[in-house]
C-alpha cells in the first residue's frame, strides 16, 4: 500500500521522470504560492477522479471509457475552479487559464487509464495522493528556484539582500527561466539516478 | 443495436449526474463570487480614502453621469463592450453630518500588456490623488504584476493629474512615476488611465454634479 | 483596411509576441514529445493548425449560442468533450475522403485531444472577447505559431543528435534548455504592444 504512495514522489515522479503535465509545471511556477495552489488543485482532482473511476470501472463499457473519464475529470476540475473562485479569488486569478486546463493534464487521464481502472479504491487513493504530492513537490522545487533568483524571495518573504531584490535576475521568472530551470533539474536528476544505480 | 444504446445511455447518465452536481455547486459558489467582488471594491474604496483626516465620518454616494467620450480605436475582431464610452461612474465621499462633498473615488480600467488593469483611486476635492490600489490585473509575473506592490502604488500618493508622467530614471522620482523595470507598458497604462479619468472627473464635477 | 490591419496585428501577436508555446506555456507535451524528427513535427503542426481552427470556430458558437447566459459554468466540460468528439470526427472524415492525408497526419490526431493548446485557445477566445471571425483567426494563428516553434525545434534537435552532449543532458533535458534559449529569443518580440 505504502509503495503505491511513495512511487509517485521519486521513482515515477510525474514531472521529472515521466515528463507529464508540463504546461502548468512551467507556467505557474513563478512563485511558491502559485505552485502550491496548482499542486493542491491538481492533487484534489487526481484523487477524486482516481476514486470515482476505480469505483465505476465495472460499470463503464470499455469503448466509451475515455469520454466517461473526461466527463468525470472535467466535473471535478469545474468544481475546483468554482470553489477557488469563491474562496481564494486572488490565487484563482493568478492561476487563471491553467485551472480549467487541469482537464487536459496528462497525469490525470494517464493515471485513470493506467492505474485506477485496473486497481481497487484503496490502491487508487494511494496512487492518486502519491502522484499528486510528487507533482506538487516538483512544482514547489521549480518555483522556489525561480522565485529566489527572479524575485529574491521565498514564499513572498525576502531572502536575498536588498540590492539583489531591486534588480534580480528577471530571466528566471520569465518564460526562458522556466525552460532552463526545468532542463537543468532534469539533467541533475539523471546524474543522481545514475550514481545510485 | 442494443449494445450501442447501452453505451450511449451510460455516457448520458454520467454526463447528466455531472451536470447536476455542477449546477448545485455553481448555485452555492456564484453568489459568494459576486459578494466577494463587491466586498473587495468596498474595501478598496475605503482604503484609498485612508489618511485623509476629515472632522466627520463619511458615506459613499454612487453617481453615474453620461459623457461623450470620443470613440476610441475599436478592434473589429473583439466584441465591443456595451457600456464603455457612454457613462462615467464615480462615488462622492459625503460627510455624514454636514452633507458636504469631501472627495471622490472611482475605478479606472485600461487594457495593459496582457490584461485589463483595474485601479481604485481616491481623490480629495482639489483632484489630488490620496491613494490608489490596483485591485485587479494579470500582467506578467515578475514584471507588470509588480504594479500591486505597495512601493509602486505609494508613488501615486498626493499626485495631481497634470503632474503624472512616467520616467525610467531615478533622479526624477520626486515629480514623476518611476516605471517598473521591464514593464513600462503597465506603468504607462495605469498612469494614462488615471490621467484621463481624473480629467473626466474634474469636468463632470465642476459642472455642479448632476 | 482597418479589418486587414487588425488581422495582421493578431497574427503577429499570436505567432510571435504571445507565442502559445514559448510565452504562454501551452502545448508543451507535444512540443518536447514530437520534436525529434522534422517530418513528424511538420505533420503534427499541420494537424494542430487544422483542429485548432475548427475547434475555435465550434466552441465559440457553442459558448455564445448554447451556454450563454445560464450554463457558462459548464464551459470546461463542454469544450473538452467537443474537442474530443471533433478530433474523432476529423479522423474518420479524413480517413474516408483523403487516405493520403490520413497516412501523414493520422497518428497525431488522437494526441491532439490532450494538447492543452487547443482547449487553451478555445477558452482564451472567450476570455479575451474575440468575435466569431476573430476567434477563427486566433485559432489559425495560434496553430501557425505552434507549428513554427515545433518545426524550428525539430530542426535543431535533428542536428543535436550528432553533437557530443554530456550523457545526463541528452534528450529531454537538452530539449528544455534549447526551448529556454528559443523563448529568450522570442522574448525580444515582447516589447511590441500592438
Q: Which residue of B has its CA nearest to A64?
A: B7
- Which has the closest alpha carbon to A64: C80, C109, C84, C76? C84
Assess contact for A22 and A15: CB atoms under 8 A. yes
C6 touches chain B (CB under 8 A): yes
Q: Tell me what pLDDT residue B210 has.
A: 40
pLDDT tens figures, A89-133? 989 988 989 999 999 888 898 899 899 989 999 999 999 999 999
Regarding beta strands B129-136 and B166-167, do their DSSP bridges make them parallel or antiparallel, or are they unpaired?
unpaired
pLDDT bin (cut points 50, 70, 90) of residue A139 is: very high
Assess contact for B180 and B146: CB atoms under 8 A. yes
Q: Which residue of C has its CA nearest to A21?
A: C29
Instruction: Decide if C129 and B23 are in contact by the 8 Å CB cutoff.
Output: no
Instruction: Decide if C77 and A100 are in contact by the 8 Å CB cutoff.
Output: no
Q: Tell me what pLDDT residue C56 has.
A: 96
Burial C133-159 (b: 16+ CB within 10 A, else e): ebbbbbbbbbbbbbbbbbbebbebbee
Q: How many CB pairs under 8 A join B and C?
A: 38
Mutate to test the interface with C, among B8, B33, B34, B75 (most CBs of C within 10 A): B75
> Is B158 a domain residue?
yes
**How many residues would you count in chain A?**
197
On chain A, the residues whose CB falls within 8 A of the CB of C180 are 175-180, 183
CB nearest A175 (choices: C23, C123, C172): C23
> Is B157 a domain residue?
yes
Q: Tell me what pLDDT residue B127 has.
A: 86
> Is B4 a domain residue?
no
> Is B11 a domain residue?
no
Say how far apart CA B45 and CA B39 lie, in whole Å.
10
Say how far apart CA C131 and CA A78 lie, in whole Å.
25
Say how far apart CA B159 and CA B122 lie, in whole Å.
11
pLDDT tens figures, C148-163? 999 999 999 988 888 8
pLDDT bin (cut points 50, 70, 90) of residue C180 is: very high
Question: Cell numbers 505552485 correspond to what residue?
Answer: A35
Phi and psi for C119 in degrees, rounded to 5? -65, -40
Integer angstrom CA distances of residue A123 from A73, B28, C110, C190: 19, 32, 29, 47
Instruction: Give the residue-averaged pLDDT of A36-47.
Output: 96
> Is B109 a domain residue?
yes
Integer angstrom CA distances of residue C106 from C54, C87, C99: 17, 11, 9
Instruction: Decide if A72 and B26 are in contact by the 8 Å CB cutoff.
Output: no
Residue B123 DSSP SS3:
strand
Instruction: Give the residue-averaged pLDDT of C135-150.
Output: 95
Q: Tell me what pLDDT residue C64 has.
A: 94
Instruction: Decide if B143 and A86 are in contact by the 8 Å CB cutoff.
Output: no
Q: Tell me what pLDDT residue B163 has.
A: 66
> Is B37 a domain residue?
no
CA angle (B150 as vertex; B146, B154 as ends), nearest 5: 110
The percent of residues in chain C predicted with pLDDT above 70, rounded, is 97
Instruction: Give me C161's grid cell.
Output: 543528435
Say how far apart CA A101 and CA C119 lie, in whole Å.
7
- Which has the closest alpha carbon to B113: B91, B90, B142, B133? B142
Mutate to test the interface with B, among A62, A78, A96 (most CBs of B within 10 A): A78
Q: Tell me what pLDDT residue C113 has.
A: 80
CB nearest C26 (choices: A23, A177, A182): A23
The full 3-state SS of C112-173, as one line of letters, equals HCCCHHHHHHHHHHHHCCECHHHHHHHHHHHHHHHHHHHHHHHHHHHHHCCCCCCHHHCCHH
B141 touches chain C (CB under 8 A): no
CA within 13 Å, CB half, A144: 8
Say how far apart CA C133 and CA C60 lie, in whole Å.
10
Residue B208 DSSP SS3:
coil
Q: State the complex-level ipTM.
A: 0.89
Say how far apart CA C46 and CA C29 lie, in whole Å.
16
Regarding beta strands B166-167 and B177-178, do their DSSP bridges make them parallel or antiparallel, or are they unpaired?
parallel
**Which residues form the domain of B71?**
48-206
pLDDT of B71 > 70? The answer is no
DSSP string, A82-140: HHHHHH-HHHHHHHGGGTGGGGG-HHHHHHIIIIITTS-HHHHHHHHHHHHHHHHHHHH
Domain count, chain A: 1
pLDDT of A172 > 80? The answer is yes
Instruction: Give the residue-averaged pLDDT of A55-83.
Output: 91
Question: How far does A78 lie from chain C, in Å, by closest CA?
Answer: 7
B71 touches chain C (CB under 8 A): no
**Which residues form the domain of A64?**
2-196
Residues 6+ apart with CB under 8 A from A147: A30, A31, A32, A153, A154, A155, A173
CB nearest A96 (choices: B7, B36, B138): B138
Assess contact for A9 and A137: CB atoms under 8 A. yes
Q: Which residue of A has its CA nearest to B36?
A: A86
Q: Per CB distance under 8 Å, which residues of B are interface residues toward A? A: 6-7, 10-11, 14-15, 18, 21-22, 25-26, 28-30, 32-33, 36-37, 40, 136, 138, 140-143, 145, 181-182
Q: How far is CA B40 from the centre of its chain?
A: 11
pLDDT tens figures, C6-56? 899 899 989 998 899 998 899 888 888 888 888 888 888 988 999 999 999
Which region among A127-136, B165-174, C165-174 has the lowest average model confidence (pLDDT)? Answer: B165-174
Domain count, chain B: 1
Instruction: Give the residue-averaged pLDDT of C112-132.
Output: 90
Question: How far does C6 lie from chain B, in Å, by closest CA?
Answer: 7
Residue A21 DSSP SS3:
coil
pLDDT bin (cut points 50, 70, 90) of residue B209 is: very low
Instruction: Give me B103's grid cell.
Output: 472627495
- Which has the closest alpha carbon to A69: A49, A40, A55? A49
> Is B181 a domain residue?
yes
Instruction: Give me A108's grid cell.
Output: 490525470
- Which has the closest alpha carbon to B102: B59, B144, B64? B59
Q: Which residue of B has its CA nearest to C125?
A: B78
Burial class (CB in 10 A: 0-12, 13-18, 19+), B64: exposed
B115 touches chain C (CB under 8 A): no
CB nearest C80 (choices: A74, A82, A183): A74
Answer with the residue of higher pLDDT: A122 or C188: A122
Alpha helices in chain B (DSSP H): 2-47, 150-154, 184-206
Which region among B42-46, C1-5, C59-63 has the lowest average model confidence (pLDDT)? Answer: C1-5
> Is B16 a domain residue?
no
pLDDT tens figures, B101-141? 888 899 888 888 878 899 999 998 888 888 899 988 888 88
Report chain A's mean pLDDT, rounded to a whole number. Answer: 91
Q: Tell me what pLDDT residue B70 has.
A: 56
Q: Which residue of B has its CA nearest to A56?
A: B14
Chains touching B by CB (3 or more pairs below 8 Å): A, C
The percent of residues in chain A predicted with pLDDT above 90, rounded, is 57
Q: Tell me what pLDDT residue B206 has.
A: 76
Residues 6+ apart with CB under 8 A from C30: C44, C48, C108, C111, C112, C115, C150
CB nearest A183 (choices: C26, C75, C177): C177
Amino acid at each position: 500500500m505504502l509503495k503505491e504512495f511513495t512511487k509517485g514522489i521519486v521513482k515515477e515522479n510525474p514531472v521529472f521522470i515521466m515528463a507529464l503535465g508540463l504546461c502548468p509545471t512551467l507556467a505557474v511556477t513563478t512563485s511558491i504560492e502559485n505552485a502550491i495552489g496548482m499542486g493542491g488543485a491538481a492533487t484534489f482532482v487526481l484523487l477524486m477522479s482516481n476514486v470515482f473511476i476505480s469505483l465505476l470501472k465495472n460499470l463503464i463499457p470499455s469503448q466509451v471509457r475515455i469520454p466517461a473519464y473526461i466527463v468525470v475529470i472535467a466535473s471535478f476540475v469545474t468544481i475546483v475552479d468554482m470553489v477557488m473562485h469563491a474562496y481564494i479569488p486572488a490565487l484563482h486569478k493568478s492561476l487563471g487559464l491553467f485551472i480549467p486546463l487541469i482537464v487536459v493534464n496528462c497525469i490525470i487521464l494517464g493515471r485513470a487509464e493506467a492505474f485506477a481502472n485496473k486497481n481497487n479504491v484503496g490502491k487508487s487513493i494511494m496512487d492518486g495522493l502519491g502522484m499528486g504530492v510528487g507533482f506538487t513537490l516538483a512544482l514547489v522545487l521549480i518555483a522556489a528556484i525561480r522565485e529566489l533568483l527572479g524575485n529574491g524571495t521565498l514564499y513572498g518573504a525576502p531572502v536575498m539582500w536588498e540590492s539583489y531584490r531591486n534588480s534580480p535576475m528577471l530571466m528566471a521568472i520569465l518564460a526562458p527561466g522556466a525552460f532552463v530551470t526545468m532542463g537543468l533539474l532534469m539533467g541533475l536528476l539523471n546524474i543522481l539516478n545514475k550514481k545510485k544505480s | 443495436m442494443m449494445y450501442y444504446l447501452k453505451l450511449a445511455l451510460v455516457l448520458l447518465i454520467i454526463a447528466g449526474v455531472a451536470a447536476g452536481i455542477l449546477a448545485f455547486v455553481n448555485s452555492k459558489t456564484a453568489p459568494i463570487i459576486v459578494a466577494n467582488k463587491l466586498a473587495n471594491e468596498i474595501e478598496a474604496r475605503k482604503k484609498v480614502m485612508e489618511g485623509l483626516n476629515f472632522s466627520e465620518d463619511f458615506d459613499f454616494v454612487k453617481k453615474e453621469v453620461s459623457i461623450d467620450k470620443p470613440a476610441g480605436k475599436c478592434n473589429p475582431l473583439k466584441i465591443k463592450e456595451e457600456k464603455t464610452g457612454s457613462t462615467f461612474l464615480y462615488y462622492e465621499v459625503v460627510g455624514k453630518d454636514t452633507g458636504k462633498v469631501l472627495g471622490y473615488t472611482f475605478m479606472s480600467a485600461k487594457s495593459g500588456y496582457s490584461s485589463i488593469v483595474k485601479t481604485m483611486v481616491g481623490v480629495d476635492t482639489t483632484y489630488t490623488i490620496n491613494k490608489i490600489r490596483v485591485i485587479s490585473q494579470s500582467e506578467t509575473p515578475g514584471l507588470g504584476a509588480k504594479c500591486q506592490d505597495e512601493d509602486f502604488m505609494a508613488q501615486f500618493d498626493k499626485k495631481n493629474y497634470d503632474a503624472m508622467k512616467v520616467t525610467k530614471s531615478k533622479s526624477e522620482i520626486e515629480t514623476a512615476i518611476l516605471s517598473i523595470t521591464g514593464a513600462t507598458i503597465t506603468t504607462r497604462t495605469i498612469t494614462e488611465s488615471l490621467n484621463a479619468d481624473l480629467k473626466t472627473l474634474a469636468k463632470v464635477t465642476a459642472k455642479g454634479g448632476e | 483596411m482597418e479589418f486587414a490591419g487588425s488581422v495582421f496585428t493578431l497574427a503577429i501577436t499570436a505567432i510571435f509576441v504571445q507565442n502559445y508555446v514559448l510565452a504562454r506555456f501551452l502545448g508543451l507535451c507535444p512540443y518536447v514529445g514530437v520534436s525529434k524528427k522534422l517530418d513528424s513535427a511538420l505533420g503534427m503542426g499541420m494537424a494542430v493548425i487544422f483542429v485548432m481552427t475548427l475547434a475555435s470556430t465550434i466552441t465559440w458558437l457553442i459558448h455564445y449560442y448554447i451556454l450563454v447566459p445560464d450554463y457558462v459554468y459548464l464551459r470546461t466540460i463542454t469544450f473538452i468533450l467537443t474537442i474530443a468528439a471533433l478530433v474523432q470526427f476529423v479522423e474518420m472524415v479524413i480517413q474516408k475522403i483523403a487516405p493520403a492525408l490520413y497516412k501523414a497526419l493520422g497518428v497525431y490526431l488522437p494526441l491532439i485531444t490532450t494538447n492543452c493548446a487547443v482547449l487553451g485557445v478555445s477558452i482564451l477566445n472567450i476570455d479575451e472577447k474575440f468575435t466569431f471571425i476573430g476567434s477563427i483567426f486566433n485559432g489559425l494563428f495560434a496553430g501557425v505559431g505552434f507549428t513554427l516553434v515545433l518545426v524550428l525545434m525539430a530542426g535543431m534537435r535533428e542536428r543535436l543528435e550528432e553533437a557530443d552532449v554530456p550523457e545526463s543532458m541528452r534528450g529531454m533535458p537538452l530539449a528544455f534548455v534549447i526551448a529556454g534559449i528559443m523563448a529568450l529569443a522570442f522574448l525580444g518580440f515582447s516589447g511590441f504592444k500592438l
